[in-house]
Structure 1
Amino acid sequence: MPLTNEQKKRLYHQLIDLKHSMSSTEGTDQPMGEESGELSNGVDNHQADHAGVYTERMRDQTFRQTDKNRLEEVEDALKRIEDGTYGICEATGKEIPYERLKALPYARKTAEAQAETEKRNEDAEGYDKQFTRQMKDLTNSETMDQKRSYTYERLDEEQDST
């Protein structure tokens, strides 16, 4: 069932609120002097102190990147509302249920299509890990021609599976 105008209006306002809340907090959590890349302020710290600062900095950087990605998703959803494609699954062309959009207003796919995409990505990651492991298993005595031949076989398998 297509989204009603009232539902679209609610989702639009939800996206706007998300955008404003994410935009207002963007960049406010970075301590002074962190841009320099220095781990200390000139005081001789123990290596464990440096590791703790580094870990915290990496965690914060990951959070900021996640927030940035989410903000881009929200902005993309607002563009889809403008061009009339909002609420339509990018993978199947089916309507995304209102309940899903209410929970995740920037959703691009139905839950089923998203699960299938994630499964394919996991399978591809597993296949890539297997390929990397097999390439490492090749001994140094093997020639580049043998390695190249193995790579071509893998590419042929990928083409056959698609």
Structure 2
Amino acid sequence: MALTKEQTQHLYHKLLDMQKELSGEKKETESMTEEVGELSNGVDNHMADHGTLVTDRMTDQTVKEIDRELLEEVNRALQKMKDGTYGVCEKTGQEIPYERLEAVPYARMTVEAQADVEDDLETDAPSYEREFHEQVKDLSNKETIDQKSSQTYEILDREQDSK
């Protein structure tokens, strides 16, 4: 069922609000970065202060990148509205349900199509990435086993002490 005019207008305004918010946050983040830059010019800063500054800058950069990508998605959705292709899954050509668009107004695919794409990305990951993830899982399991062993020894020690 195609989106109603009211639903489309509601989503359009929602996207515009997101666009304004993301553009506004960009300016706030830039001013925060300038403040951090001013702090780093001091000569007497402690090494821990420098570590904090580096972490703050990395966080700011990450937030900027996420906001930039999200703004691109919002702009893409607004363009699709103008083109008349908004709400159509890019993978299947099916209509994206209103509920999904209400939750994620810049959605480009249905939930099922998005899940398929994400599954394909995991499957297509280079072997070294899969091996890395398997090793991380193995390490997690090893830590769990080590923790259980440690707990078992603690219980045995307590039993020995109580005798």
Q: Structure 2 length as normaliser, TM-score?
A: 0.71
Structure 2: give runs of 5+ residues left out of the alignment. Answer: 133-163
Helix, strand or coil for the counterpart of 1:28? helix
1:92 aligned residue: 92
Give the alignment of 1:27-46 within 5 angstroms: 27-31=27-31, 34=34, 40-46=40-46
1:76 aligned residue: 76
Q: Percent identity?
A: 52
Higher-Rg structure is: 2
Relative to 1, partners in 2 of residues 1:48 and 1:123: Cα closer, same or farther, differing over 3 Å?
farther
Relative to 1, partners in 2 of residues 1:32 and 1:110: Cα closer, same or farther, differing over 3 Å?
closer
Q: Is the 8 A contact 1:15 1:105 kept in 2?
A: yes
2:154 aligned residue: none
**AA matched with 1:89:** C
**AA matched with 2:19:** K
Relative to 1, partners in 2 of residues 1:86 and 1:34: Cα closer, same or farther, differing over 3 Å?
same
2:141 aligned residue: none
**AA matched with 1:108:** R
2:129 aligned residue: 129
1:64 aligned residue: 64
2:110 aligned residue: 110
- Between 1:71-80 and 1:43-52, the stretch displaced more is 43-52
Per-residue deviation, 1:49: 2.0
1:120 aligned residue: 120
Mapped to 2, the partners of 1:76 and 1:47 lie a distance apart of 43
Identify, as 1 or 2, the structure richer in helix: 2
Mapped to 2, the partners of 1:33 and 1:70 lie a distance apart of 20
Mapped to 1, the partners of 2:5 and 2:128 lie a distance apart of 45
Relative to 1, partners in 2 of residues 1:125 and 1:34: Cα closer, same or farther, differing over 3 Å?
farther
* CA RMSD between the two structures: 2.5
